[in-house]
Structures are given as C-alpha cells and as structure tokens.
Structure 1
C-alpha cells in the first residue's frame, strides 16, 4: 500500500514539474523581448557615429603620414559623402585640432521599439548631431619614453544631448584631459 501511494505521489510531481516548465517558458516569451531589445536605433544615428569615428581615425592616420590634418573630407580618402539622407558632414581645423561634424537634418527621425511584454510601441525621435575632435599633443603625454619633440594625436567622439540640427559645441583638450563640449556627452 505504501508503494502505491509513493507511485501516485511521483506521478503528481512529474505533472507539476511539466506545468512549471510550461509556465516559465511562457514568462520567458512574454518578457524576453524587453530584455533583448529595449532600444533599436535606425541606421541614421549609427551612420553618423560610425562616420565621425572613422573621420577621427583617418585624421590621426593623415597626421601621422603628413604632419598635418586633412582640411577636407575627400582628402581623408574614406569615400564618405559630405551629405547623406540624414546628415551633413564637415571638418574644421585649428592649429592644434581637427573637428569633424555630423549635423542632423531637422526633418529626419530615428525609430526605436519599446517593448511591454508581448506588445511593443514604435517611438519616433529626431536625430542627434555628433562632433569628433582630434588633438595634437606631445607624445610624452601618452608615452614617457617618447622623444621630447615627438607629437601624437588623441581623439574623442561626442553626441549632442539635445535634438536638432545645431552644430554641437567642440570638445576640448585642457590640462591633459579630453572633454566633450557643453550640451554633448562622450561616447
């Protein structure tokens, strides 16, 4: 009699485990989208971040080869157009820096999905603008063993915190510190 009761008990617990697994699986289906993709940006903003970062790296390579910065985007030899569907790109030089801009068109938007369990909502937001800076510094600032007259470059990429087609403030290099300009954050 005890054996029969034991078998009966194990049959019930097997059913309970199966129901628990099904329940956990359903919970996973409901909440997984919110963990896997809370924000999906359009190609617009990722395009600008990629272009400005590439322009920064190309300016560093150009300086290494030419001892000066490129004064135009075509001179960087990246194949980047100065105007795309979403952004206008430009570069500006000073004696010690090159600034690369990706200015968003005011009528362009990025779309991202926000998930609420099985439901999602697409949110439309205007694109942000970007600025990159490449600065000439003494190589001894990054390598104490470098020759005292040797120069090198460092770079920074910044995103505007406000939406719009206004040129972001330029980053700075002061007291050995790279800093994004007012109204921008470092990426």
Structure 2
C-alpha cells in the first residue's frame, strides 16, 4: 500500500508541474523593459555609425580630388576649375553630398558640401608653394572636416597660412585639419 501511495503522490506532483509551466505577466514585462532599455542605448550608436559611413564617401572623394588637382597642375601648370576636367568620374552631386571646385591659379578648394543635416562637410585645399632656393613650384594639400554637422549650401574658398615662400594650406573657419600632404 505504501508503494501505491508513493506512485500516486509522484504522479500528482508531475501533473501539477505540467500545469504550472509558462511565464507570468510580470516576467514578460521585465524582459520587454530590459529589451527596450538595451535598444534605447544601442540605436543612437548604430545611427552614428551609419552617418560615419556616409561621411567616408566625402572624405574619399575630396581626397581623390586633391590628388587629382596636384596631378592636373603637374601636367597643365594650373589648377582645374571643374570636377570633369580632373577625370575622376565623380558625380557633382550624390544623395548625401554636392561636390564643387572653387579657386584660382595658385590655390583651389575641393568642396564636399553636406546635403543632409546629420552629416559633416569636407574641404580639400590645394595650394601652390614656391621654393626660394629653386625656381620649382610644389603643390601642398590639406583635407579639412567641418566642426559641426549640417547642410552647407555655398562653396568655400581655399585658405592659405604663412608668408611666401613658407605657404601652407589651411582650413576655412569652423573646419579642422584631418591630414596634410
């Protein structure tokens, strides 16, 4: 009789556990709140990474325009006044940026102007710097990034610092140097 009672008791306990399976409403709410907090932390970081990817387009294009301006000057003894003359195959406007060239015989600015409020603009400055010891002219380039995000509508002029013959390309106001060569 004892074994029969034990068997019924064990069967009763097993049946009770099957009925108690599942999650309570409080447990589900806690999980949903945790997922919400984690997504609120991760979403801004993800969006920032997407903007950095879009900005890399402008960095690459403006850097390529700088190098092409230096090569163009070597071949033609003047800077190009248009993107198409550089032979890079860069569109003057993309979804995120508008590209323009502005300058004169001794200096040029290659502009990557942001079309969207969440992106930074870029300017490549290429100048002609004469060496006093020799009569050779060299080109110096600098890539600049805007300090603030936002759409820019007007092309920026090239900037130069120093006095001849120690001229250096410099960034326009509200821009910072990324790299110089």
Q: Shorter-chain TM-score: what band?
A: 0.5 to 0.7
The answer on whether the counterparts of 1:156 and 1:186 sit within 8 Å (CA) in structure 2 is yes
Answering whether residue 93 of structure 2 is matched by residue 64 of structure 1, we say no
Q: Please state which structure has a larger fraction of its residues in helix.
A: 2
2:93 corresponds to which residue? 83
Partner SS, residue 74 of structure 1: helix
Structure number with greater CO (CA < 8 Å, separation at least 6) is: 1
State how far apart, in whole Å, the 2-side matches of 1:54 and 1:158 are: 13
Alpha-carbon distance in 2 for matches of 1:164, 1:170? 20
- Give matches, 1:4-153, under 5 Å: 40=49, 41-106=51-116, 126-140=118-132, 147=134, 149-153=135-139
**Higher strand content, 1 or 2:** 1
Q: TM-score normalized by structure 2? A: 0.63
Q: Deviations over 1:36-74 (max 9, x none)?
A: x99735431000000000000000000001101111101
TM-score by length of 1: 0.61
Q: What secondary structure, in the 3-state scheme, does the structure 1 residue paired with 2:68 have?
A: helix
Unaligned segments of structure 1, at least 5 residues: 1-36, 108-125
Match of 2:145 among 159, 162, 182: 159
Aligned 8 A contact 1:169 1:182 in 2: no
* 1:171 equivalenced with 2:159 (yes/no): yes
Segments of 5+ residues of structure 2 without an aligned counterpart are 1-44
User: SS where residue 165 of structure 1 aligns?
Assistant: coil
Q: How many residues align?
A: 127
- Quote the offset at 1:171 in angstroms: 3.1
Q: Distance in 2 between matches of 1:72 and 1:169?
A: 14
Q: Does the CA contact (< 8 Å) of 2:127 and 2:139 recur in 1?
A: yes
Q: Deviation at 1:152?
A: 1.2
CA distance in 2, matches of 1:98, 1:172: 10
Alpha carbon RMSD of aligned pairs, Å?
2.2
